[in-house]
Structure 1
Amino acid sequence: MYWPDELPQGTHDGRKAIQGRQHYHGMNELIASNYMATINALSVASQAQVKQWDEKNDEEIQDTLYWRQAFDITTYELSTVELFCSCNTPGNPDKMLIECTTEACKKWMHEQCIVDDALTALYKRSGTDKLHVAPVHPKKGENGDEGKRPLSPSETGAETNGDGARPWEGLFEALLKPPDMDPPIIEFRDLQDGVVDGEKTWTEPVKCLLCGNHFN
């Protein structure tokens, strides 16, 4: 058994060449191998209990060493693991996977992918010059006077982010609240300074990244 950090250069994970620990490797995860070596018996401190994980039950590997992948020293091939989510990558047992509530889907997604997708959608509809604002309805007797519109960052002189992989950073943040809620919801926070009015915190339903339905 080896730590993922010890995977050598030139290791093949499917069609991808990798080296060392990958983002889906858990803190207590080990890699099985057919590599054999002779070591000094005095260097062995004690026997280690390592479980094989079939990726169906996270609870069976809590607070214990486990393995799910094997490294073939003759071919430098790393065995495959189950892929999840719209990003088609493995799950990290130290991080949460969320299951779609639609019976026809029931696919699992990474919590971070759900949050990032929600922030991307928010940024696309709000950009850097709009706030999330609840609809403003004229009060009776105001003759339809327009409600007060919150100032945008461009009007207040606030800085805006440029293009990038995560353009919402510094503008908005979101998290699943609470992660074990049924169904879960996403709580958003507007981080923009110097802007009056508008909703600074609000919640929205979670949308499946694969079937497009909202959790219910």
Structure 2
Amino acid sequence: MGGRRQFHGAKELFLSDHYDVQSAHTIEGKCIVHTFKNYTKLENVGAEDYFCRFEYKAATGGFTPDRVAVYCKCEMPYNPDDLMVQCDGCKDWFHPNCLRMSIEEAKKVENFLCSDCSSDDDGKHSHNSAVEPKRRKK
């Protein structure tokens, strides 16, 4: 894996077995580190809220887990910073950009069928009311 990736959230931290000594003067404040699952369930994410879904082993340079679920046509893991829309047919999640849809358009979608499901169901693709951003992992 090695380092920060596109799907890592801005508030994502890595649990590690590496320890270091720091001056108390470098501490800016206290934060709350949630599990990934609990973070995605938060109604309001505060400035002190962060999350962790990976553990880094300094001795081996490896991450646990070494695999995560992927979504969308781009097959990227979920980033809670990015809006996603859910297909009413297959229940998979998609980035608006990957669907050639603006964020504004995506927020107005009431019922959404991905291209695979809409070809099965001949266009129940409606753009009427708002959807919430993806806030939970499958």
Same fold (TM over 0.5): yes
Quote the residue 1:78 is aligned against.
63
Identify the match of residue 183 of structure 1 among 108, 111, 135: 111
1:179 alignment partner, SS class: helix
Identify the match of residue 36 of structure 1 among 19, 27, 35: 19
Asked if structure 2 preserves the Cα contact closer than 8 Å seen for 1:96 and 1:111, the reply is: yes
The one-letter amino acid of 2:110's match is D
The one-letter amino acid of 1:44's match is I
Are residues 178 and 96 of structure 1, via their aligned partners in 2, closer, same or farther at CA, if it must alter by over 3 Å? Answer: closer
- Counterparts of 1:96-107 in structure 2 under 5 Å? 96-102=83-89, 105-107=90-92
1:112 alignment partner, SS class: helix
Asked if structure 1 preserves the Cα contact closer than 8 Å seen for 2:86 and 2:93, the reply is: yes
Asked if structure 2 preserves the Cα contact closer than 8 Å seen for 1:82 and 1:90, the reply is: yes
Q: Deviations over 1:128-166 (max 9, x none)?
A: xxxxxxxxxxxxxxxxxxxxxxxxxxxxxxxxxxxxxxx
Deviation for aligned residue 1:58: 4.8
Q: Normalized per residue, which structure has more helix? A: 2
Whose radius of gyration is greater, 1 or 2?
A: 1
1:208 equivalent in alignment to 2:114:
yes
Identify the match of residue 82 of structure 2 among 95, 111, 116: 95
Deviation for aligned residue 1:62: 2.0
Quote the residue 1:142 is aligned against.
none
1:59 alignment partner, SS class: coil
- CA root-mean-square deviation: 2.7
Identity %, equivalent residues: 22
Deviation for aligned residue 1:99: 0.8
1:54 alignment partner, SS class: helix
Asked if structure 2 preserves the Cα contact closer than 8 Å seen for 1:69 and 1:81, the reply is: no
2:42 alignment partner, SS class: helix
2:76 alignment partner, SS class: coil
Deviation for aligned residue 1:180: 4.3
Quote the residue 2:31 is aligned against.
48
Quote the residue 1:149 is aligned against.
none
Are residues 178 and 106 of structure 1, via their aligned partners in 2, closer, same or farther at CA, if it must alter by over 3 Å? Answer: closer
The one-letter amino acid of 1:28's match is K
Distance 1:71 1:61 in 2: 28
1:66 equivalent in alignment to 2:51:
yes
- Counterparts of 1:110-121 in structure 2 under 5 Å? 110-115=95-100
Distance 2:51 2:108 in 1: 25
Are residues 52 and 28 of structure 1, via their aligned partners in 2, closer, same or farther at CA, if it must alter by over 3 Å? Answer: same
Quote the residue 1:124 is aligned against.
none
Asked if structure 1 preserves the Cα contact closer than 8 Å seen for 2:85 and 2:106, the reply is: no
